[in-house]
Amino acid sequence: MSLLHIMILIPFIFAIFVPLLYKLFNSRIHTGWFVLIIPVVIFIYLLRFIPGISSGEAAYQSLNWIPSFGINFDAYVDGLGLVFGLLITGIGALVILYSIYYLSKEKEALHNFYVYLLMFMGAMLGLVFSDNILVLYVFWELTSISSFLLIAYWYQREKSRYGAQKSMLITIFGGLAMLSGFIMLSMMTDTYSIREMFTQVDTITGHSLFIPAMILVLIGAFTKSAQFPFSIWLPDAMEAPTPISAYLHSATMVKAGIYLVARFTPVFGGTSEWFWLVSGIGLITLLYGSVNAVRQTDLKGLLAYSTISQLGLIMSLLGIGSAALYFGYGDEADLYAAAITAAIFHMINHSTFKGALFMVVGIVDHETGTRDIRRLGGLMTIMPITFTVAVIGAFSMAGLPPFNGFLSKEMFFASVVDVSNLTEFNMDTFGILFPIIAWVASVFTFIYSMILVFKTFRGKYKPERLEKKAHEAPIGMLISPIILASLVVIFFFFPNMIGDYLLKPSVAAVLPAIAENSIMDMYITPWHGWNTELFMTIGVIALGTLMYISLRKWAGIYRMYPQSITLNAIYNSALDKAQSWSASLTDKYMTGYIRDYIAYLFGFFILFVGGTLIVTNSISFDASNNAPVNFYEIALMVAMIVAAFTVLLAKSRLTAIISLGVLGYLVSMFFVIFRAPDLALTQLVVETVTTALFLLCFYHLPRFKEQVHKEKKGVPFKPLNLIISIGVGVVVTLFALSANGTRLFEPIAGFYEDSYKLAGAKNIVNAILVDFRGIDTMLEIFVLCIAALSVYTLVKLGLSRREK
Gyration radius of the chain's alpha carbons: 35
The residues near 601 (Cβ < 8 Å, ≥ 6 apart) are none
- Angle formed at CA 490 by CA 489 and CA 496, multiple of 5 degrees: 125
Among 529, 533, 531, smallest CA distance to 541 is for: 533
Helix, strand, or coil here: 59? strand
Asked if residue 229 has a cis previous peptide bond (ω within 30° of 0), the answer is: yes
Q: Is the pTM of this model over 0.85?
A: no
Among 86, 79, 53, 47, smallest CA distance to 348 is for: 86
The CA distances from residue 732 to 16, 607, 671, in Å, are 51, 12, 20
The string of DSSP letters for 266-331 reads HHHTTSHHHHHHHHHHHHHHHHHHHHHHHT--BHHHHHHHHHHHHHHHHHHHHHHHTTHHHH-SSH
Q: What is the H or E stretch that residue 76 is in?
A: strand 71-77
| Distance from C-alpha of 689 to C-alpha of 262, rounded to nearest angstrom | 68
| Distance from C-alpha of 125 to C-alpha of 37, rounded to nearest angstrom | 16
Helices and strands per DSSP (H, E), number in the chain: 40, 2
Phi and psi torsions of 225, nearest 5° = -95, 20
| Distance from C-alpha of 33 to C-alpha of 42, rounded to nearest angstrom | 15
Among 525, 585, 544, smallest CA distance to 453 is for: 544
In contact, 118 and 12? CB cutoff 8 Å = yes
In contact, 668 and 649? CB cutoff 8 Å = no
The CA distances from residue 704 to 229, 576, 714, in Å, are 61, 45, 12
Identify the bridge partners of residue 130 per DSSP, sorted by sequence position: 75
Helix, strand, or coil here: 627? coil
Among 39, 237, 19, smallest CA distance to 149 is for: 237
The string of DSSP letters for 207-267 reads STTHHHHHHHHHHHHHHHTT-TTGGGHHHHGGGS-HHHHHHHTTTSTTHHHHHHHHHHHHH
The residues near 135 (Cβ < 8 Å, ≥ 6 apart) are 65, 71, 72, 73, 74, 126
Phi and psi torsions of 193, nearest 5° = -85, 130
Mean pLDDT for back-to-back runs of 10 residues, the chain (804 residues): 90 94 88 94 95 89 85 91 95 95 87 94 95 94 94 91 93 95 94 92 92 96 94 91 88 90 93 94 96 93 94 95 82 83 94 94 92 91 94 95 93 92 84 94 96 92 86 92 96 89 90 62 77 93 95 88 85 91 88 86 91 83 75 88 87 84 90 83 89 79 55 64 89 85 72 76 76 83 92 80 56
The CA distances from residue 291 to 433, 447, 722, in Å, are 17, 9, 64
Calculated CA dihedral for residues 430, 431, 432, 438, nearest 10 degrees: 110
In contact, 417 and 532? CB cutoff 8 Å = yes
